[in-house]
Amino acid sequence: MSAHSAALPAGSASGPSSPDARSGAGGLFSAQGLRALGGGAYAMAQSELRKLRHDHLDIITRSVQPLLWLFIFGTALSHTRSLTLGHLEYRAYLAPGVMAQAAMFIAIFFGLAVIWERDVGQLQRLLATPLPRTAIVLGKAVGACVRALVQALLLLVVIAAAGIDVRWNLGGVLGTLALLMLGTAGFACMSMLLAAAVKERERFMGIGQLIMMPLFFASSALYPLNVMPGWLHVIARVNPLTYEVQGLRQMLVGVGGAGELWLDFLVVGGFLLLMLAAATRAYPKAIL
């Protein structure tokens, strides 16, 4: 065996992509890196849309649970008048919380279940393409966002049809969707990080529930922070879902929680960046 042949020319059939790829090794923020990042995320988002088109039923069945919260729980609780919300109807108060919760559920199950059950070989392959690692994780997160976005639009239509007292202005709705996407991407990355840690496919569903319900209850999704006992209030204060819900509520029904809108975007955006960085490090290694 000759072991001394040092610099060999590239294989003749390696195609036009290989020379640029070499110069693109400069990093994620080179033109090449950004193009790969955008292209990869676009391809994955498009695939999710295509899957939704092949299976519309999925998004509808997933929308049942948030609607139950809104119309059963919300209607029942609004009759008890146990929360002092001014002249705001409880269902209007609850609507942003339910939207955020529904998107979070999609994100967490997307990361946990879909990837491990269906995409094991696909991820191995993606890791062997010139796509940057960040693009793979971000692309998956964008895929979750596509699903969450379709569901959010569906929920907004139902909320409008039910005559729930939401402020319908274009800026508010667009801002709502934007914040919802940031949060969904963040929770999707969090669940990929979790998948990397848990590794056993069978345990995912249980762990997913274990994470999701406390995040939901320890947030301002169902009730204002000031009705919480002190310890729960502390947890809710560091829960990104709280900020997501507060931001949505401010934009959608005009009720600011304790925070201001810029802070809500800042916290949710920061959460996304943190989770993206952590998942990019941990996730591709764990999938092998």
Partner 1 sequence: MQTPADVGAIDPAVLVDDLVVRFDETLAVGGVSFAVAPGEVFGLLGPNGAGKTTTIRVLTTLLPPTSGRALVAGHDVLGESLAVRASIGYIPQAISVDGALTAWENLDFYARVTGVPGRERKQRIAQAIESMNLHAMLDRLARTLSGGMLRRLEIATALLNQPAVLFLDEPTVGLDPSARRMVWEHLGALRAEVGTTILVTTHLMEEAERYCERLAIMDMGRLVEQGEPAALLERHGTESLEEVFTAGTGRTIEEQEGRLSDVRAQRRTARRLG
Helix axis angle, 261-287 to 133-161, nearest 10°: 130
Residue 146 burial (CB count, 10 A): 22
Least Å distance, CB 95 to partner 1, is 31
Q: Does 207 bind partner 1 (CB under 8 A)?
A: no
> What is 11-28 written as a DSSP string?
PTTS-THHHHHHHGGG-T
Single out the segment in contact with partner 1 by CB under 8 A; choices: 6-14, 101-109, 173-181, 218-226: 6-14
Between residue 121 and residue 150, which ones bind partner 1 under the rule CB under 8 A?
A: 121-122, 124-131
Site string for partner 1, 105-124 (x = CB under 8 A): -------------xxxxx-x
Least Å distance, CB 121 to partner 1, is 3
Type and span of the H or E element at 97: helix 90-109
Distance between CA 17 and CA 39 in Å, rounded?
14
59, 83, 79: which is closest to 71 by C-alpha?
A: 79
Least Å distance, CB 38 to partner 1, is 11
Q: Does 55 bind partner 1 (CB under 8 A)?
A: yes
Calculate the CA dihedral of residues 243, 245, 251, 257 and round it to 10 degrees: -70
Q: Does 34 bind partner 1 (CB under 8 A)?
A: no
Q: Does 9 bind partner 1 (CB under 8 A)?
A: yes
C-alpha angle 179-183-186 in degrees, rounded to nearest 5: 145
Single out the segment in contact with partner 1 by CB under 8 A; choices: 4-12, 73-81, 98-106, 180-188: 4-12
Q: Does 56 bind partner 1 (CB under 8 A)?
A: no
How many helices (H) and strands (E) are present in the chain, helices listed first?
13, 0
Task: Rank residues 61 and 80 by Cβ distance to partner 1 and give the closer one.
Answer: 61
Report the residue from 15, 31, 167, 169 that binds partner 1 according to the rule CB under 8 A: 15
Least Å distance, CB 144 to partner 1, is 15
Task: Rank residues 3 and 170 by Cβ distance to partner 1 and give the closer one.
Answer: 3
Report the residue from 29, 31, 50, 214 that binds partner 1 according to the rule CB under 8 A: 50
Q: Are 88 and 255 in contact (CB under 8 A)?
A: yes
Least Å distance, CB 280 to partner 1, is 15
Distance between CA 186 and CA 181 in Å, rounded?
8
Q: What is the size of the binding site for partner 1 (CB under 8 A)? A: 50
Residue 205 burial (CB count, 10 A): 12
Task: Rank residues 77 and 114 by Cβ distance to partner 1 and give the closer one.
Answer: 114
Q: What are phi and psi of 87, to 5 degrees?
A: -95, 10
Direct distance between the N- and C-terminal alpha carbons of the chain, in angstroms, rounded to an integer: 30
| Residues contributing to the site for partner 1 (CB under 8 A) | 1-3, 5, 7-18, 21-22, 24-25, 36, 39-40, 42-44, 46-47, 50-51, 54-55, 118-122, 124-131, 199, 285-288
